[in-house]
Amino acid sequence: MKQFAVELHSHTHHSDADFSVEELCQRAVDFGYEGLILTDHNTSSGYSELAELAKEAGIVTLGGIEWTTYYGHMLVHDADRLVDWRTATPHSIDKHMQEVKEANGLIGIAHPFAIGSPMCTGCHWTFDVKDWNKVNYIEIWNSTRPDEHFWSWEAYALWTRLLDDGYRISCSAGRDWHRMEGEGENPPITYVESSGEWNSENFRQSLEKGTFYISLGPGIRWYVEQGEKIFYMGDTIKPGLANITVEVLSTRIESLKKFGSIVKRVKIIHNNQIYFDEPIDNDLIPIPIDLVEGNLRIEFWGTIKQKEEELLLISNPIYIEK
């Protein structure tokens, strides 16, 4: 599996950001992104320009838009047509999500617990979702400094509750990139894993399946072996004995190194219970586990910005089914 740094949530002059499309693309190259999705508010008019520039720059992109309504913001990625958001009401959102699915779009709930009116009308998610199967991911880290925002934890709680209820749903991060942030503002980063060539088909497939993780700095390589087979995030494995291998990777993005993230503990979480919580130690690898139906995921905890006991990385799950 190869890993690619991507950003799933960005804006330009086509809505309310300070960037032209060209500036956004150049900033993305400078930062080290290998994938970028433009999600302007209620328009995808910047996409064709970005697609051309990204191709020249060697960045993989997908179409995108951020539905911006009074009841919440929703990222729609890689749909093959524009679906009308203007008639969405709190109780009709499932019908609208169904239309997005019919247009082959991926759905991400943006900043669900951000402060709404009067700070930011519509930023707080109040749509009444009845079928969470239609949601691909919940943006649990939004904007910069996600480690300092209480709403990150509310979104994390929603995501883990849905996992506990048996949904296949991923956590995502969105820089919600509007302008170059200040020196002290650390953005979260999303790493997509793919075994194939780095192109838009594989980018989409990894997002759809949940083959990605979010981080404030470090990387992870992890997989589960059962018999002769190897399983990665988003895969489905059978209950029973298996071995988990976890490796900590150093921070790849140069501008994130100054925030000083150091991984101190690895947590293996099986059905929302902590199965393993230890300092990373190569002698412990691989870690044996007896899996039951549900899900398995990893978190890294440690130091960042001289704060201890911080959540630094969250993997998406491997799912366990009979």
**Is 7 a binder of Zn ion (CB under 5 A)?**
no
Q: What is the gyration radius of the CA atoms in the chain, in angstroms? A: 19
SS3 (DSSP) at 41: strand
Structural tokens at position 209: 């399946």
* Closest CB to Zn ion among residues 174, 218: 174
* Closest CB to Zn ion among residues 163, 171: 171
Strand 35-38 to 60-62 pairing: parallel
For residue 180, count other CB atoms closer than 10 A to its CB: 12
| Cα gap 62→35, rounded to integer Å | 8
3-state helix, strand, coil in the chain (%, to 5): 20, 40, 40
Among 133-141, 176-184, 186-194, 199-207, which window interacts with Zn ion (CB under 5 A)? 176-184
**Where in 43-82 is the site for Zn ion (CB under 5 A)?**
66, 73
* Closest CB to Zn ion among residues 66, 78: 66
**Is 176 a binder of Zn ion (CB under 5 A)?**
yes
CB of 144 to Zn ion, least distance (A): 13
* Closest CB to Zn ion among residues 67, 232: 67
**100 to 139: interface string for Zn ion, x by CB under 5 A:** ----------x-----------------------------
* Closest CB to Zn ion among residues 73, 168: 73
Q: Which neighbouring-strand residues pair with 278?
A: 266
| Cα gap 33→82, rounded to integer Å | 26
Among 172-180, 189-197, 216-224, 279-287, which window interacts with Zn ion (CB under 5 A)? 172-180
CB of 229 to Zn ion, least distance (A): 39
Tell me which residue has its CB nearest to Zn ion.
Answer: 73
CB of 120 to Zn ion, least distance (A): 8
CB of 127 to Zn ion, least distance (A): 13
Number of residues that bind Zn ion (CB under 5 A): 4
Strand 212-215 to 189-194 pairing: antiparallel
**DSSP states of 174-235:** E--B-SPPPTT-PPPEEEEEESS-SSHHHHHHHHHHT-EEEESS-EEEEEEEETTEEE-TT-
Contact residues: Zn ion, CB under 5 A: 66, 73, 110, 176
